[in-house]
Every structure is written in C-alpha cells, then in structure tokens.
Amino acid sequence: MAIRSDEIGDILKQRIASFDAPVVDAHEGVITSVGDGIARIYGLEQAMAGELLEFPSAPGGLPLLGLALDLREDGVGAVIMGEYGHLQEGDTVRTTGRIAEVPVGDELIGRIVNALGEPLDGKGPVETSQNLPLENVAPGVIFRQAVTTPLQTGIKAIDAMFAIGQGQRELIIGDRQTGKTQVALDAIINQKDSGVVCIYVAVGQRRQTVAQVAARLDAAGALKNTIIVAATASDPAPMQYMAPYAGCAMGEYFMQKGKHALIVYDDLSKHAQAYRQLSLLLRRPPSREAYPGDVFYLHSRLLERAARMSDAEGGGTLTALPIIETQANDVSAFIPTNVISITDGQIFLETDLFNAGIRPAINVGISVSRVGSAAQTKAMKQVAGQLKLDLAQYGELKAFAQFAADLDKRTRATLDRGQRMTELLKQPANSPVPFAQQVIAIFAGTRGYIDDVPVERVGEFEKGLVRFLSTDHPEIEKDITDKQQITPETETALKAAVEEFKKGFAG
C-alpha cells in the first residue's frame, strides 16, 4: 500500500486540531527503590489497590504503566509492566485514577492478545467499545443456578465418565508430557460449531508452544471462535500474573450477555510461580514452598468467577478448565491440593498410561467430576452408568491378574471387558467424536457386543460400526441426537443394527 505524504499531513492536522489537552490532576510519589520489576514509591497516599500508575517513559518510548499492589502506611509497592531500565531513584510516579482493566467484546474473537488485551497476531488493532476490570467479584449465590447442561468435550472417556457441565470448573492435572493441553484443545475444537466462545490463556509457556496451539486450532477451524491470551515465559511476571484475570474478564463479558464461554488456564502452576516471584520481591512473608499466604485466594477468586447464571440473569455460563502440572505424580503438593479443593473435580493424566498408548491417559480411579451425572444427557447415562465402576475394578484386578495363572470365570470376564473398554475409549488427538457416535460406541461396549472381538481389533470395530450406522441406519444417530436419550424403540433398532454389523465384521 502506497502512503502519500499529504495524507499523513492531513491525519496529523486532524489529530492536532482535535487535540484536547486535559489538565493533569493526579497524586504524585517518588521512587525510593527500583529493581526486579518492582518499584517502591514514597507518597501516593491516595493510591487505590490495583490502581494503574504512570511511570516516566523511556526516552522516545511508549507510556510505562505499573500496578499498585502493596499499599503501606509510608508508601506503595508497585509492579512495573514493561521495561524499567531507565527508571531511577527520585523519579516521580503519578496515579491515573484507573483500576487495571482489559478490553472485552466480540471483536476479540479469533485474536491473540496479551494480558492487557493488546494484539500479538499482527492482524491490526482490536477495536472494542467496552472495558471490564481485571478483578471482579464472583457472582453471588442467588445469581447462580445448578449446573445441569453438559459441555460436550468430544472426548469419549470424559463425556462418558467425567461429564463436564456448562459453568463447571474441572481441573486437568498431570505430569509434563501427559497430554493435558491436548485434552483442553480437543474440548475447544469440539466447540467450533456449538456456539460456545473459547478462551485459551497461556501462562509462562514458550512462544513456540503458543504459536503451535494457534496453528492447531486454526487447522481444526476452531480459531474463529477462540480468544488466545498469551503471557509467555519471556513476559514480565506481572503480565503472567494478570493474564488469567484478563482472560476471565473477557469470558465474563460473554457470560453476562447470556452466552456460553469456555476458558482454559494453561497453566495455573506457572501462574502461582509468577505470583510467588512478585510476592517475594514485594517482601511479603513466604509460607509453604515459599508461596505467599494468599496463594489459595489467588486461585479461588479466579475460579469462583466461573458460573452458570440464573435465568433471570440471562442464563449465561463460564466453564473453566484450569490445568496444573504436577512433579512426579505428586498431587499432594501445595498448589495441586489447593486447586483440587477449589474445582468441581479433576481429570488426572498419568505418564505410565500415556506411554502404554492409552490416550487420553486418564487415570479412571482418581479422576472425578463432582457435578457428574447431573450434567450428562439421559442417553449417555443409559449406556455409561456402570462404565466408571467397571473400569476402576478392572484397574485393581489387572495388578493381581499378572500373578495368577488361572482365574475364575467372573474375574476373567471383568478383565476382558476392561481391556476392551480401555481400548474403546482410546482416541487420537484433534478428533472429537460427536455425542451420538460416542453413545453408539459405548453402547456396543457396555452391552457386551465387543466381548468376543479381539482386543487389537476393537478400534477397527468401533470405526466400522460408526461408519456402518451413519450410512445404513442414519435415523438411529439422528434420533439419539434429537431426543438426547435412547427410547425403547431406538434401543431395539440399535441392537439389531449392531448385530447386523457384527455378522459382516467377523468375516
């Protein structure tokens, strides 16, 4: 695009003509010490908690802002959001009268932004008309209603055994390299046609990883209803601290409009670490694992903002999928126990399972959804009622069975069923399964139709069955999708269809 110099002149002329110089009326303080992204400021007695402060900008640089976090009798401790190399003792700092806030709105959908809502994807400025404060008090009890509608993740194991409801907070927890992010991304990908707006908050990750996530969502066609909020490892700790709250504010906008939103915090362990850094530099007393005393509140106030609003309030929802990374499967470390106790359940992913090829590597025994069956469709309850118990039993028996040569008939049957169900619940990445197809596959499993199929052919059987039903008996899938339950007539038809398919499959 050619830029004509007289055009620039015109624009500048306009800007100068319309420039309205406001009188600065602020409070002023003096920096007494600065370093490690923290400034201590003398004065500023009128500063508000969480207020944005204006620091002197670097020569020729952009305005430099800070956040007043520590209000003391004799001054303010503030975190500086940006490069602070030019700041010196004695520099003056002004209040702005603004509490930290982020732009929110539909315009953000499909964009990658930082913790302040500024674009990072090179697609031009984000023109929003509204801002919401970073910190917002979670909706009160009377503004909420019980979680009853499922949020389909498209992951068979989760939708069948640990159903997530809209407005629920379900923790995804596990060691590094166990597919935590993948589970969250699959859930996002499955929302591409459901009208649920997704927000992916990356905290303390590599920029490379964030770029990969964006590319994967784009390839799956899910970026068009997703906002990515990125505060990467190279961003200052204050930005990493703010990113989840920024993403949450963006999600709350949709919830308040009566829409549905899903937010993924990837991950809150790094968030706690960023906050620990800030707190230690602000000289707050450290407690367990050197985290500050209010690290529980850090996460509880964030996750409490996920809610299902009552119908009088528009009925919007914000579902949260926080992610926590454990070290060597230790769920009893400080941050994991905190977040486990705040959330409505957890999906526990294990390295051993992952390496054994069971993906998603969900440990059925200790994963749980405390909203669970209330947020499951009738159809899924009909077919998957016993599944979790069966698989948990299988997990226990499996260990014994390795030593026993001959087992009684019932044990043998439990083992066989467990093996095949585990096989059935395997699912490759980036391939969410529609609800009705999940029901059909699990129907075949729990009603014993795969008990005589060789274990290594279960996957093939499932694929074949689903394909067969959608070509030869599309009415069954449609009926389940429409009615959200299996009527006695459909059940008869489904049984007949599965038997018909089995005849062809064996040969």
Partner 1 sequence: MASSVVARRYAAAMFSLASEEKAVDKRADDLARAVETLGSREVVDALDNPRLDVANRVRLALDLLDGVGDQVRNMVRLLVERKRIASLPGILEQYRVLADRAAGVVHADVTAAIPADKALITQITRALRERFGATVRVQVHTDPAIIGGLVIRVGDRLIDDSVRTHLQQLQASLR
Q: How far apart are CA 271 and CA 324, in angstroms?
A: 10
Q: Measured from the CB of residue 25, what is the shortest distance to partner 1 in angstroms?
A: 5
Residues touching partner 1: how many (CB under 8 A)?
27
Q: Measured from the CB of residue 15, what is the shortest distance to partner 1 in angstroms?
A: 6
Candidate residues 10, 28, 289, 451; the one interacting with partner 1 per rule CB under 8 A: 28
- Which CB sits closer to partner 1, 18 or 129? 18
- Which CB sits closer to partner 1, 44 or 486? 44
- Which CB sits closer to partner 1, 74 or 489? 74
- Which CB sits closer to partner 1, 92 or 177? 92
With contact defined as beta carbons under 8 Å apart, do 436 and 481 qualify? yes
Omega prior to 267 cis, within 30 of 0: yes
- Which CB sits closer to partner 1, 49 or 496? 49
Q: Does residue 44 bind partner 1 (CB under 8 A)?
A: yes
Q: Measured from the CB of residue 22, what is the shortest distance to partner 1 in angstroms?
A: 8
**Is 370 part of the annotated catalytic residue set?**
yes
What are residue 43's DSSP bridge partners?
29
Q: Does residue 455 bind partner 1 (CB under 8 A)?
A: no
With contact defined as beta carbons under 8 Å apart, do 262 and 187 qualify? yes
Candidate residues 1, 23, 328, 405; the one interacting with partner 1 per rule CB under 8 A: 23
Candidate residues 7, 10, 35, 45; the one interacting with partner 1 per rule CB under 8 A: 45
Q: Does residue 12 bind partner 1 (CB under 8 A)?
A: yes
Contacts of 325 by beta carbon, 8 Å cutoff, 6+ apart: 173, 174, 175, 176, 180, 267, 269, 270
- Which CB sits closer to partner 1, 56 or 464? 56
Q: Measured from the CB of residue 126, what is the shortest distance to partner 1 in angstroms?
A: 17
Which of the stretches 39-47, 156-164, 230-238, 285-293 binds partner 1 when contact is defined by CB under 8 A?
39-47
Which of the stretches 73-81, 196-204, 252-260, 302-310 binds partner 1 when contact is defined by CB under 8 A?
73-81
Q: Measured from the CB of residue 121, what is the shortest distance to partner 1 in angstroms?
A: 21
Candidate residues 9, 35, 63, 448; the one interacting with partner 1 per rule CB under 8 A: 63
- 3-state SS of 318-387 is EEEEEEEECCCCCCCCHHHHHHHHHCCEEEEECHHHHHCCCCCCECCCCCEECCHHHHCCHHHHHHHCCH
Q: Measured from the CB of residue 179, what is the shortest distance to partner 1 in angstroms?
A: 44
Q: How far apart are CA 360 and CA 118, in angstroms?
A: 34
Distance of CA 27 to the CA centre of its chain: 39
Q: Does residue 6 bind partner 1 (CB under 8 A)?
A: no
Look at the chain and count its residues. Answer: 507
Q: How far apart are CA 110 and CA 256, in angstroms?
A: 20
Q: Measured from the CB of residue 74, what is the shortest distance to partner 1 in angstroms?
A: 5
Q: Measured from the CB of residue 122, what is the shortest distance to partner 1 in angstroms?
A: 18
Candidate residues 2, 6, 25, 140; the one interacting with partner 1 per rule CB under 8 A: 25
Contacts of 491 by beta carbon, 8 Å cutoff, 6+ apart: none
- Which CB sits closer to partner 1, 2 or 23? 23
DSSP string, 390-412: HHHHHHHHHHHHTT-SS--HHHH
342 backbone dihedrals φ, ψ, rounded to 5°: -85, -35
Amino acid at 388: K
Please state, as a whole number, how many other Cβ atoms lie within 10 Å of the Cβ of residue 213: 24
Candidate residues 36, 42, 194, 481; the one interacting with partner 1 per rule CB under 8 A: 42
435-446 and 458-472 helices, crossing angle to 10°:
120
Q: Does residue 359 bind partner 1 (CB under 8 A)?
A: no
Candidate residues 1, 3, 62, 328; the one interacting with partner 1 per rule CB under 8 A: 62
Q: Does residue 310 bind partner 1 (CB under 8 A)?
A: no
Q: Measured from the CB of residue 26, what is the shortest distance to partner 1 in angstroms?
A: 5
Binding mask 93-132 for partner 1 (x = CB under 8 A): -x--------------------------------------
Q: How far apart are CA 483 and CA 465, in angstroms?
A: 21
Judging by beta carbons within 10 Å of its beta carbon (0-12, 13-18, 19+), is residue 463 exposed, middle or buried? Answer: exposed
Binding mask 322-351 for partner 1 (x = CB under 8 A): ------------------------------
Pairing of strands 226-231, 197-203: parallel
Q: Half-sphere exposure of 449 toward its Cβ, with a 13 Å CA cutoff?
A: 24
Q: Half-sphere exposure of 18 toward its Cβ, with a 13 Å CA cutoff?
A: 5
Q: Measured from the CB of residue 80, what is the shortest distance to partner 1 in angstroms?
A: 18
Q: Does residue 381 bind partner 1 (CB under 8 A)?
A: no
40 backbone dihedrals φ, ψ, rounded to 5°: -105, 135
Please state, as a whole number, how many other Cβ atoms lie within 10 Å of the Cβ of residue 289: 12
Give me the torsion for CA of 271, 272, 278, 280, rounded to 10°.
-160
Candidate residues 1, 3, 17, 21; the one interacting with partner 1 per rule CB under 8 A: 21
- Which member of 207, 370, 447, 457 is catalytic? 370
334-342 and 268-281 helices, crossing angle to 10°:
120
Q: Does residue 357 bind partner 1 (CB under 8 A)?
A: no
Q: Does residue 75 bind partner 1 (CB under 8 A)?
A: yes
Q: Does residue 3 bind partner 1 (CB under 8 A)?
A: no
Active-site residues, by number, are 370
Interacting residues with partner 1 (CB under 8 A) = 12, 15-16, 19, 21-29, 32, 40, 42-46, 62-63, 72-75, 94
